[in-house]
Amino acid sequence: MFTLIDHIGFVVADVDAAIEHYRQAFGIMEWERIALPERHADIGVARMGDTLLELIAPTSEEASFAKFLREKGPGMHHIAYRVDDIAAALAELRSRGVPMIDREARPGIHNTLVAFVHPKAGGQGVLVELVQHQSNHHGEAHA
């Protein structure tokens, strides 16, 4: 089902401050900034080989992850795995009784489809995102 780790998402209070930290501490200099006002999110992404680092900050309390930041503070929010066929992956997960947040895929950034598995699935406590790229460009970002 999973073909590789697509990205790791981190919730931060301030994307610019987090980017500056990654630049100074780790030498990751190239970042793309993405504003998603409809999702109440501000995002910074950087490529590391085949994996993307995704820094996400809520721009209002309406952001789906604002509660996470408020209650747990900044930190790792989710891990995203690439799949070739997200509809088939979702059907397979449902048939296995895996609890889902999304029953159907929704648009992600950079021409992707995304869906989330519930973090309580299997008692793992990790939010899992499925990502399908809708083009042949495997080096694209997602949210």
Cα–Cα distance, 77 to 2 (Å, whole number): 19
What is the model's pTM? Answer: 0.88
Cα–Cα distance, 143 to 127 (Å, whole number): 13
The pair of three-digit structure tokens given for residue 12, joined into one six-digit string: 């931060």
Residue range 48-82, pLDDT digits in tens: 999 999 999 999 999 989 999 999 999 999 999 99
Q: What is the DSSP letter of 100?
A: B
The pair of three-digit structure tokens given for residue 110, joined into one six-digit string: 């950079």
The stretch 103-112 carries a mean pLDDT of 94
- With a pLDDT cut of 90, the percent of the chain lying above it is 87
Q: Is residue 115 within 8 Å of residue 129, measured between CB atoms? A: yes
Cα–Cα distance, 42 to 71 (Å, whole number): 19
Show the domains of the chain with their CATH numbers: 4-133 (3.10.180.10)
pLDDT at residue number 142:
45
